[in-house]
Chain A
Amino acid sequence: MEKVMRLAAEKGVVIFSKSSCCMCYAVKILFHELGVNPIVHEIDQDPEGKEMERALCRLGCNAPVPAVFIGGKLVGSTNEVMSLHLGGSLIPLLRPYQTLV
């Protein structure tokens, strides 16, 4: 859990993902489209991956990955990201971190 929280606190947009997960891929594509270069942690390639997955589940998302943090705060999984975006609230959150324009 500490590792997850430590990594999550990194500045910017942090996505916990699995290299085999295509929904994670879709979320990454969306962030790129919005001009953001997220920090991606592929937990299936991390030696502590299993524990990280358990920790992410405990955070309350319906799926452990993708788990999105912006500025150290948990945003949620795909559902939450999509809802925020359609509601127009995602881009304001991303503005400080938009590097690719």
Chain B
Amino acid sequence: MSSPSTQFATSRRMGIYEPVHQISMWAEPFRGNSSPNTAVSTIQGDAKLDKSEDTSQGTIGPLENHDQEANKPSDKVLRRLAQNREAARKSRLRKKAYIQQLETSRLKLTQVEQELERARQQGVYIGGALDTSHLGLSGTVNSGIATFEMEYGHWVEEQNRQNHELRTALQAHVSDIELRILVDSGINHYCDLFRMKGAAAKADVFYLMSGMWKTSAERFFLWIGGFRPSELLKVLMPQLEPLSEQQLLDVGNLQQSSQQAEDALSQGMLKLQQTLAETLASDPVGEDSYMSQMATAMGKLEALVSFVNQADHLRQQTLLQMSRILTIHQAARGLLVLGDFFHRFRALSSLWAARPREPA
């Protein structure tokens, strides 16, 4: 009867049990991460057991059947308890690390958003950069749109430069020959834009149609990837007066023709929306008809590219017709007026982005 307690007593007296026990406890945490806390809890654990043993020998009674078992169960129990403490500690540390990670990410995100806002205010074109659909899914989509965004940024810079040059030339009353050179560059510059947009439409027509590559105020006027030519004519015409009777008639006809063409394209777009919705609304039975439903829907989406191309074609044709109707001097003024108009939209967008807002 006294043998287990003797064993304990012996080990305590001899100091064998405790150190051995401590080492086995320490071995556990050192496998994972080391910490000075381990020893403390271990010692505390041991102290508790020692205490219970001191208060009543009956506590360990049921385990006292024979020498070996008396040591092992408490050994196991102690080890298990220590392991639990250790697991709980590790879990707390992991949770702490995770929260720290989240805090850091949140801070980083705020910083990135602030940088973006600053860049927007400076008029830099950051289009769908944060749109995940461009991040890595398809190499071609990504590079096509990234290229467009970069090229468009340069296009706007060049546009501003050309506008400045036009203004200077008109104020200096340069010759018609010099004006013609400027007008031709101006028109070619817009043709470059339509070419760029054509390539972007092939890369991602939805991106182009979203207008995310334009500033916010411009997006308000978005019609199939850009401004409505007839609206531009209507708004800017007064700036080009005085015009001859024939010119007024021609511009009026151009405006009306463009409007009719735009309306036809708008109706075509509505029909496209309708048929796409109808295609997706029916419930296909079987894998084959699901595939055929999706194939039909894909075809509809492809058709969007041709609508964007046609809309840009209208814009280009309107520009070319105006250069034909107007004198060279009027055409130069027309390009300047158009350039200033777009520039004011971009300035408005910057002001809007920088406006003081209620704190969230």
A residues within 8 Å of B by Cβ? 20-23, 25-27, 29-30, 33-34, 63, 78-79, 82-83, 85-88, 90
Docked complex: B267-300 residues within 8 A CB-CB of A: 267-269, 271-272, 275, 299-300
Within 8 Å of chain A (Cβ to Cβ): is B321?
yes
Name the residue of chain B whose CB is nearest to the CB of A83. Answer: B317
A29 touches B272 (CB 8 A): no
B305-318, CB under 8 A of A: which get 1 and which 0?
01100100110011
B307 touches A85 (CB 8 A): no
Q: How far is the CB of B261 from chain A (nearest CB, A)?
A: 5
Query: When the two chains form the complex, which single residue of B257, B267, B268, B275 contacts A86, counting CB atoms closer than 8 Å?
Result: B257
**Which 9 pairs of residues, A with B, have the shortest CB-CB distance?**
A26-B268, A30-B264, A22-B272, A86-B317, A29-B264, A26-B264, A22-B271, A29-B267, A22-B268
> What residues of A have a CB within 8 angstroms of the CB of B253 in the complex?
88
Contacts A79-B313, A86-B258; is A26 near B321 (CB within 8 Å)?
no
C-alpha gap A39/B123 in the complex (Å): 51
Contacts A22-B303, A23-B307, A79-B310; is A85 near B257 (CB within 8 Å)?
yes
Within 8 Å of chain A (Cβ to Cβ): is B18?
no
B317 touches A26 (CB 8 A): no
B254 touches A25 (CB 8 A): no
Number of interface residues of B (CB under 8 A): 27
B272 touches A82 (CB 8 A): no
Within 8 Å of chain A (Cβ to Cβ): is B117?
no
Q: How far is the CB of B299 from chain A (nearest CB, A)?
A: 8
Within 8 Å of chain A (Cβ to Cβ): is B147?
no
Within 8 Å of chain A (Cβ to Cβ): is B204?
no
B105-145, CB under 8 A of A: which get 1 and which 0?
00000000000000000000000000000000000000000
Which secondary structure dominates where chain B touches chain A? helix
Within 8 Å of chain A (Cβ to Cβ): is B265?
yes
C-alpha gap A21/B272 in the complex (Å): 8
B317 touches A88 (CB 8 A): no
Docked complex: B193-228 residues within 8 A CB-CB of A: none
B321 touches A86 (CB 8 A): yes
Docked complex: B321-337 residues within 8 A CB-CB of A: 321
Query: When the two chains form the complex, which single residue of A20, A30, A33 contacts B275, counting CB atoms closer than 8 Å?
Result: A20
> What residues of B have a CB within 8 angstroms of the CB of A85 in the complex?
257, 260-261
> What residues of B have a CB within 8 angstroms of the CB of A33 in the complex?
260, 263-264
B321 touches A87 (CB 8 A): yes
C-alpha gap A25/B260 in the complex (Å): 14
> What residues of A have a CB within 8 angstroms of the CB of B260 in the complex?
30, 33-34, 85
Name the residue of chain A whose CB is nearest to the CB of B310. Answer: A78
Q: How far is the CB of A25 from chain B (nearest CB, A)?
A: 5
A88 touches B254 (CB 8 A): yes
> What residues of B have a CB within 8 angstroms of the CB of A20 in the complex?
275, 299
Contacts A34-B260, A86-B318, A88-B253; is A23 near B306 (CB within 8 Å)?
yes
Within 8 Å of chain A (Cβ to Cβ): is B250?
yes
C-alpha gap A79/B309 in the complex (Å): 9
Query: When the two chains form the complex, which single residue of A21, A34, A82, A88 contacts B314, counting CB atoms closer than 8 Å?
Result: A82
